[in-house]
Amino acid sequence: MTEVDVLPSNSAEGTAAERWDLIERILHSRELKRSHRLRELLRYLGKQSIHCEITSIREQEIGEAVFERATDYDTSLDNIVRVNVTELRKRISLYFETEGAQEELQVEIPRGAYIPVFSRRTVPVAAVPVAEVVTAETPLSAETAGEADSNEHSAPPRSRVFYRVIFASTLAALLLALCGAGWLWQQNIRLRAQVFPWQSDPAMRDFWGTFFESDGEADIVTADTSLALAEDILQRPVSLDDYLDYKYKDLANLPGLTAETRQILNQVLNRNLGSVGDFRVAAEVMALDGRPHSVRLANARAFTPENVKTNNVILIGGQISNPWTGLYQDRLDFYEVYDTARHRPSFINRSPLAGEEGIVQVEGGDSNRGYSIVAFLPNLSPHRYALLIAGSDSQATLAAGEWVTSREGLNWIRQKSPQGPFPFFEVLLSSSRLVGTPLQTEVKAFRIHPRSGD
């Protein structure tokens, strides 16, 4: 059923300027600055309530104005407004528990409603005992002055001891409180390091803050292994254009294929398979931030050009299994190519420096040796970024993911770069593992690209 708001009587607390200033502070808070959709939703609801003085609003109006739904869309089938308003309520509540703890004015969106409600926050004030106080501004009569002077000189020693005990006790309590505050501060640092590992090291914070603190959302896109299998069977690649137009689904109808091959292709292409290595890399990235809404996980087949343009992206897999990486190949010094006839990847070094190889071949007989690339570069829209992680096999992809989510890897890049924002970079990695030992990863080649004017 479509919900309709009626503006409650206390929604007019505070002036219009005070209410809008509060909305602006919440829009720029840590809880909302990473979510473009929720920011637009709160901005729209705030404007309707404060500037337009709207007293009622329908779910369908919000869907049309904020989420670009058709005027006559069916809210019973599309719950995008209800889902986002529920999440917005949580973020607003969290704001007043953290950054906005000292706000005098508060706002909430009551359950079953969409119009923001403003109210004054009451802060209990400790009662002050009423006492007769003589200040420097209050003139003393001669009688009063004499009495005070007499009391001062006639106070028994026991009273002075009592006041000294009170002073010492107060000082001890203050020192104990300071020690407690210091301990709590240290505990807070430890807890934040556990919940937000990306904030535990300067290099980690500089790099991963690009994705976790950005006002845009971040998408982790895993590879489409079904596509790679189909390309292996056909011994031909599929372009990004064909992938976007879903023409790859017609590959089984190509002339010259046997009935058995057509059947296999249909079975493969009708499945959306993924790689264990890809999902482990995605898990490594998502474990860096304890907030489930900081990044979104998607498969290459379900990704869209709109997401690439508006969001930060982390693409996992080479071009054979994740065609989206083809959007960036012209800007890369290192990139992966796949020989569909020999079923082997190679890594191209477009402009090799002294001592570097132009082509790194992956040997088919060595299952313990792999190669991978990690590239950090600007995305297709201003102030959006892309991270590419691709390996010669699942194990090499995992090695690259572990490298870029580690302090050691990012500090290695930071030492090679100038001060300032974390630079754009590319690395070509070699990884190996013997039975029963962890992955050993080393940098074979790297490029640093300073960030200027992005």
Give pLDDT tens digits for 373-406. Answer: 999 999 988 888 999 999 988 889 999 999 999 9
Together in a domain, 114 and 215 = no
Together in a domain, 112 and 210 = no
CB contact at 8 A, 312 and 384 = yes
**pLDDT above 50 for 11:** no
User: In this prediction, what percent of the chain has a pLDDT beyond 70?
Assistant: 80
Q: Which two tokens stand for residue 53?
A: 């003085």
Any domain includes 240: no
pLDDT score recorded for residue 394:
87
Across 77-85, average pLDDT: 87
Which pairs with CB-CB distance under 8 Å and at least 24 residues apart come from 70-76?
75/2
Q: What is the per-residue DSSP string for 224-279? A: -HHHHHHHHHHTS---HHHHHTTGGGGGGG-TT--HHHHHHHHHHHTS----HHHH
Across 90-100, average pLDDT: 91
CB contact at 8 A, 375 and 334 = yes
pLDDT score recorded for residue 73:
85
Most confident of 91-95, 213-217, 291-295: 91-95
pLDDT score recorded for residue 339:
82
Together in a domain, 293 and 402 = yes
Specify the DSSP element, H or E, that contains 304. Answer: none
CB contact at 8 A, 300 and 321 = yes
pLDDT score recorded for residue 170:
82
- Beta 359-361 vs 344-349: how paired, if at all? antiparallel
Any domain includes 36: yes
Across 176-180, average pLDDT: 71
Across 56-80, average pLDDT: 87
Higher pLDDT, 235 or 179: 235
- Containing domain of residue 85, as a range? 9-120
Any domain includes 263: no
pLDDT score recorded for residue 181:
65
pLDDT score recorded for residue 377:
94
Dist. CA 310–CA 433, nearest whole Å: 38
Q: Which two tokens stand for residue 181?
A: 């505050």
What confidence category does residue 434 fall into, taking pLDDT thresholds of 50, 70 and 90? Answer: low
CA angle 256, 258, 263 (to 5 degrees): 125
State whether the Cα torsion 134-140-146-149 is positive or negative.
positive
> How many angstroms separate the Cα of 361 from the Cα of each of 306, 344, 355?
35, 8, 16
Structural domains in the chain (count): 2
pLDDT score recorded for residue 216:
62
| 279 CB-side CA count, 13 A | 7
User: In this prediction, what percent of the chain has a pLDDT beyond 90?
Assistant: 26
Across 247-255, average pLDDT: 82
What confidence category does residue 338 fall into, taking pLDDT thresholds of 50, 70 and 90? Answer: confident
What confidence category does residue 291 fall into, taking pLDDT thresholds of 50, 70 and 90? Answer: low
Across 47-66, average pLDDT: 86
Domain limit, last residue, from 120, 135, 156: 120
Phi, psi at residue 448, to the nearest 5°? -110, 130
**pLDDT above 90 for 444:** yes
**pLDDT above 80 for 425:** yes
Higher pLDDT, 362 or 372: 372
- pLDDT mean across residues, the chain: 80
Any domain includes 116: yes
Any domain includes 250: no
**pLDDT above 90 for 342:** no
47 three-class SS: helix
pLDDT score recorded for residue 390:
94
Together in a domain, 428 and 290 = yes
Across 330-357, average pLDDT: 88
pLDDT score recorded for residue 388:
97
pLDDT score recorded for residue 364:
65
Higher pLDDT, 184 or 412: 412
Most confident of 29-33, 50-54, 320-324: 320-324
Dist. CA 182–CA 413, nearest whole Å: 34
pLDDT score recorded for residue 131:
39
Specify the DSSP element, H or E, that contains 85. Answer: helix 80-97
pLDDT score recorded for residue 159:
60
Ranges 176-185, 197-206, 285-294, 355-364: which has the least confidence: 176-185
Domain limit, last residue, from 104, 120, 136: 120
Dist. CA 374–CA 360, nearest whole Å: 15
Together in a domain, 398 and 285 = yes
> How many angstroms separate the Cα of 328 from the Cα of each of 260, 313, 334, 428?
36, 12, 11, 16
**pLDDT above 70 for 93:** yes
Together in a domain, 116 and 214 = no
Dist. CA 303–CA 311, nearest whole Å: 11
CB contact at 8 A, 247 and 234 = no
What confidence category does residue 113 fall into, taking pLDDT thresholds of 50, 70 and 90? Answer: confident
**Type of residue numbered 369:** R
Any domain includes 235: no
Together in a domain, 210 and 71 = no
- Beta 295-299 vs 218-222: how paired, if at all? parallel
Buried b (16+ CB within 10 A) or exposed e, 84-108: bbeebeebbebbbeeebeeeebbbe
Domain limit, last residue, from 91, 120, 149: 120
> How many angstroms separate the Cα of 245 from the Cα of each of 197, 239, 250?
40, 10, 11
Q: How confident is the model over 136-157, as pLDDT tens digits?
A: 344 444 444 444 444 444 444 5
pLDDT score recorded for residue 23:
92
pLDDT score recorded for residue 214:
64
**pLDDT above 70 for 257:** yes
> How many angstroms separate the Cα of 24 from the Cα of each of 54, 57, 86, 146?
19, 21, 20, 60
**pLDDT above 60 for 344:** yes
- Beta 369-378 vs 359-361: how paired, if at all? unpaired
Any domain includes 92: yes
CA angle 311, 225, 210 (to 5 degrees): 25
Across 69-87, average pLDDT: 87
Any domain includes 262: no
What confidence category does residue 124 fall into, taking pLDDT thresholds of 50, 70 and 90? Answer: very low
Torsion of CA 154, 158, 159, 161, to 10 degrees: 130
What confidence category does residue 26 fall into, taking pLDDT thresholds of 50, 70 and 90? Answer: very high
